Structures are given as C-alpha cells and as structure tokens.
C-alpha cells in the first residue's frame, strides 16, 4: 500500500520542520495567547462597564472580530499594519513589519475577542457579594478587580482559556496566506520541493493531532484541580 | 454617627425605599427588622454606598454618602460591613483575608497587619485556623472571620446584613456572642437581623420596615412591649411565638 511513498523525506526534513516551523508556530501561539488574554480581559472589563460608550466600544470590537473570517483579518492586517504603523509614528513610508510580527499582532487582536467573552463569563460567575465585600473594605475598582474578582475569574476559566488556546494553536497554520514559515508552511515547502505531498501533509496532521490531543488531556486533568473551592 | 434623611430608591419604576429617615448615634446599637423584601438589606447597603439611592441624604460621621465628590473607598474603609453569605475571599487564606484591606487600603506594613490580624483571630477564637482557606471552615467560623476582617480596619461603625441568616441553627450563637461582646464594648452598630433575642439583649432601638418604609422606630422596651403599628404587632406575633 505504501509502495511509491517515501517517508524518509520526513526524517530528512525534521530539523527544518521543527527548528524553523514549529518554533514559529509555538512562539506565535504563546505571544497571541498572553497578549490576547491581557487585551481580552481589558475588553471584558470594558464590556461589563456601566459606562455605555466603553461597553459599546468593546462590544462592537468583539462582534466585528467574531464576524469576519480569520484568514481575511490576517491578510488585511499584513497589508495594513505597515501603513497604520507609519501613520502612528508619522513616517512617510510604510514601515517594515515582518510576517511574524504582523501575524502576532493579528492573532493577539483577533483572539482577544474570544478571550474577552471567556473572561466576561468568568467575571460574571463571581458572586456580586465578592465585589461588595471588596468595596466594603475600602478597595477601589482596580484593587477589587485585581485582588478579588480577576484571580477567581481567571482560575475558574483556565480550562476554557486553554481550550481556546488549543484552537489558536491550530489556527496559526492560517499564516500560510502571508507565506510565513510556520510548521505547516515549512512542511508545505518541503512537500512541493520534493513532490512528497501525501507524506508531508500526513505527518503534519499527525503532529498537530498529537500536540492538540495531549494538551486537551492536560486541560481535563487541570479542570478538577484548579477551581477555587467555595 | 449615621444619619438618614428621607432616603428613597427605585429599581426602574419599582420603589424599594420610600422616605426612610433615622439616626444611629455613636455607641448605639440599632436593630433593623421586617419581612423579606421590605428593603432592610437595601437600606443598610445604601449606608456605605454599595447601593446607590436617588433621593434623600445619608451621612456617616458627617460625610455625605450620596455626594459624587465623596471619596467612597475612603469612607467605606472606616465602616465595617458583614454580609449574609460571609463573602470571605475564597482564594485567600484566613490571614490573607484579614490583612488585604489593612495593607492595600490603610497602608499598614505586613508585620503590623499580621499582628493585628492575629489579635483579632484570637478574639474570635480562631487563631488556630489562620492558614486555612475559607472553604475549610464552618459557616459560623467563616462569619466570625468576616467580623474580624471588618474589625481589622478599625471601623468607626459596623453594619451587619443578616449575619446569621445563612447559618445552621447551632452556629448562630457563636456569631451572636461575638456581636454582643462588640456591642458591649460600645461599637456603633446597625444590624439587620431576625434574631429578636439579640435585639432584646443589646439593641437600644429597633427599626421595623415594611414595603420600603420605616414603619416603626422605637426604643427596645417600647417595641417589644407595645408596638404602635399593626404590621409590627403581626410580625412580632409571628416570629416570637415559636
């Protein structure tokens, strides 16, 4: 059945696939996750604000990001970021932003919309009385959020945040539209160069599956251990 | 110390408080009672600005609560509050619960806060539990920690919002004992509760509320002897006779 296939190509290209490709993918995932959670949490706080302009702004942003295809956002950002950057710093020419940083900014901003909804649910899951008792002690809004609400909300939501991160990890493969060399991109280059499409794409699928599945198992284990006991 | 003048509050078009006026003098213990939904909890939450109100004026130690220029966190830090469901911070140990406000709000050093916390835990009989998390304590113990947490801020007055309503019957007394002791030391207290035994023991005045209004505001003897309003008579006859 496997006659005519050359699986050796995988072994030959392993260093390139992992040292270049996987490093790109993992770094991008980690940056977008951290940035996305921070930005998403701010968006969630804005969205829950009683000050209407703030909540409307955040709501609009989240709905916009969640209503457009990710590929489109990556593509648009890649072309727009140099111009926006130039406008922001007042340069005459579009600034140079590499594929990596363009992707990092895009994924951070896009994922923030999803992390926002998760953190919003997390914040809303904290009983009102917790906020009251923080205020009653004399803590202000930021102290109450920082010491009482967010630590609990975050811990309650870690499993969901990680699940979203697994999706993010898979979604980073969409950077192929800007010809970035992530794990899939690297494999794709080898596949086309050596004309070993079946072998390379099968390997890529197996690797994505193993990593994602292992992470989801970690999430399952965490679920029981990390929740705040009331 | 605490003064309410014609306080009124609406949720949308529904009026929850109407024309509430009363005073709590320094060192006085005032019990607020009444049927569920009568606005007792809402009223006491208005006193430290946890609930906004639309009309009237509340002052605590001469400072207006409703004034937008008032530094509410600062005012709240001087008024202790104890809640029905304890509201200890579940992700912090007992001692961390007691030191958070002292360090972050009052700017005390960690050592000072720990010392104060330890003293208060000893006072409520829970020093052995200082490193436990709230979920590891019984309801009565949690509520005593909550009282200690409020006291850690050296408040000028204490507000209690049904402090024993969520407790198993056998744990009610351990909390009431702490409160009685506090009252005897001369703490200014406003207490929403159904514990008429507590009211008889330490209250100077009893306020009876119904449908968002203060129906009766009388000295303890008068209230338990001959309440003027029919509604208060009916309420007392129901809760005192079993």
How do residues B135-192 score in pLDDT, each as one tens digit?
999 999 999 999 999 999 999 999 999 999 999 988 999 999 999 999 999 999 999 9
Is A164 within the bounds of a domain? yes
What is the band of B131 on the pLDDT scale with cuts at 50, 70, 90? very high
Helix A197-226 and helix A150-171, axial crossing angle in degrees, nearest 10: 170
Task: Indicate the number of domains in chain A.
Answer: 1
* pLDDT of res. A47: 95
Cβ contact, residue pair B90, A228, below 8 Å: yes
Paired tokens of B41: 């909890």
Q: How far apart are the CA of B6 and the nearest CA of chain A, in angstroms?
A: 23
Any domain includes A1: no
Q: Mean pLDDT in chain A?
A: 91
Please judge whether A137 and B91 are an interchain contact, meaning their C-beta atoms are less than 8 angstroms apart.
no
A206 domain residue, yes or no:
yes
Q: What is the DSSP string of B36-62?
A: TTSSHHHHHHHHTTSS--SEEEEEETT
pLDDT at A1: 57
Residue A2 located in a structural domain: no
pLDDT at A226 over 80: no
CB contact under 8 A, A137 and B101: yes
Enumerate the H helices of chain B as residue ranges: 40-47, 72-77, 94-104, 110-123, 139-151, 169-184, 196-202, 220-225, 230-240
Cβ-based neighbours of B87, under 8 Å, separated by 6 or more:
A127, A129, A130, A132, A133, B146
Region of poorest pLDDT, from A220-229, B55-64, B85-94, B171-180: A220-229
Asked if residue A64 belongs to a domain, the reply is yes
Instruction: Tell me what pLDDT residue A2 has.
Output: 63
* B106 token code pair: 């009052």
What is the tens place of the pLDDT at every residue in A38-50? 999 999 999 999 9
Q: Report, as an integer, the average pLDDT of A172-177.
A: 90
For residue A176, pLDDT over 70 is answered with yes
Given a contact cutoff of 8 angstroms between Cβ atoms, the answer to whether A107 and A25 are in contact is no
- pLDDT tens, B190-219? 999 988 889 998 999 999 999 999 999 989
Range of the domain at A197: 7-229
> How confident is the model at residue A222, as a pLDDT?
86
DSSP codes, A142-186: HHHIIIIIHHHHHHHHHHHHHHHHHHHHHHGGGGGGGT---HHHH
Q: Do A127 and B77 touch (CB under 8 A)?
A: no
Q: What CATH number should be reported for the domain holding residue A73? A: 1.10.3720.10
Residue B242 has pLDDT above 60, yes or no: no
Residue A80 domain-assigned?
Answer: yes
The per-residue pLDDT for B160 is 96
- A53 falls within a domain: yes
Q: Which stretch of A40-49, A56-65, A186-195 has the lowest confidence by average pLDDT?
A: A186-195
pLDDT tens-digit profile of A90-122?
Answer: 888 888 888 889 899 999 999 999 999 999 999
CB nearest to B83's CB, from A129, A152, A230: A129
Token code pair at residue B218: 């009388």
Chain A, chain B: beta-carbon pairs less than 8 Å apart: 73
If you average pLDDT over every residue of chain B, what do you get?
93
pLDDT at A3: 65
Residues of chain B with a CB closer than 8 angstroms to some CB in chain A: 45, 48, 50, 72-74, 76-81, 83, 85, 87-91, 100-101, 104-106, 133-135, 146, 149-150, 153
């Amino acid at each position: 059945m496997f006659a005519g296939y050359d699986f050796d190509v995988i072994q030959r290209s392993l260093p390139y696939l992992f040292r270049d490709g996987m490093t790109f993918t993992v770094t991008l995932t980690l940056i977008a996750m951290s940035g996305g959670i921070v930005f998403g949490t701010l968006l969630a706080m804005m969205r829950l604000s009683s000050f209407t302009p703030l909540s409307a702004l955040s709501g609009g942003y989240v709905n916009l990001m969640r209503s457009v295809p990710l590929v489109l956002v990556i593509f648009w950002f890649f072309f727009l970021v140099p111009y926006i950057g130039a406008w922001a710093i007042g340069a005459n020419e579009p600034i140079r932003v590499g594929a990596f940083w363009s992707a990092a900014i895009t994924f951070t901003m896009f994922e923030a919309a999803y992390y926002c909804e998760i953190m919003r649910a997390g914040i809303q899951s904290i009983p009102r009385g917790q906020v009251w008792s923080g205020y009653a002690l004399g803590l202000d809004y930021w102290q109450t959020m920082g010491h009482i609400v967010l630590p609990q909300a975050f811990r309650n939501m870690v499993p969901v945040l990680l699940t979203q991160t697994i999706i993010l990890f898979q979604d980073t493969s969409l950077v192929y539209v800007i010809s970035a060399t992530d794990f899939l991109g690297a494999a794709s280059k080898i596949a086309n160069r050596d004309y070993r499409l079946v072998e390379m794409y099968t390997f890529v699928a197996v690797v994505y599956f193993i990593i994602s599945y292992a992470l989801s198992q970690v999430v399952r284990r965490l679920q029981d251990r990390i929740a705040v006991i009331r | 110390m605490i003064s309410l003048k014609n306080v009124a509050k609406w949720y949308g078009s529904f009026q929850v408080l109407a024309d509430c006026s009363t005073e709590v003098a320094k060192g006085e213990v005032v019990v607020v009672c009444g049927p569920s939904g009568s606005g007792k909890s809402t009223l006491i939450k208005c006193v430290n600005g946890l609930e906004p109100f639309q009309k009237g004026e509340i002052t605590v130690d001469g400072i207006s609560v409703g004034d937008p220029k008032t530094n509410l966190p600062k005012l709240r830090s001087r008024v202790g509050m104890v809640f029905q469901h304890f509201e200890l911070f579940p992700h912090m140990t007992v001692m961390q619960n007691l030191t958070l406000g002292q360090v972050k709000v009052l700017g005390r050093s960690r050592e000072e806060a720990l010392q104060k916390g330890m003293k208060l835990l000893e006072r409520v009989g829970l020093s052995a539990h200082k490193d436990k998390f709230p979920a590891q304590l019984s309801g009565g113990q949690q509520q005593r920690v909550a009282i200690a947490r409020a006291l850690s801020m050296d408040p000028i007055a204490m507000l209690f919002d049904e402090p024993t309503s969520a407790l198993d019957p056998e744990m009610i007394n351990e909390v009431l004992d702490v409160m009685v002791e506090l009252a005897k030391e001369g703490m200014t207290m406003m207490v929403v509760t159904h514990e008429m035994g507590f009211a008889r023991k330490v209250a100077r005045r009893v306020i009876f509320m119904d449908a968002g209004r203060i129906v009766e505001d009388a000295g303890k003897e008068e209230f338990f002897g001959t309440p003027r309003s029919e509604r208060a008579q009916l309420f007392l006859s129901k809760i005192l006779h079993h």
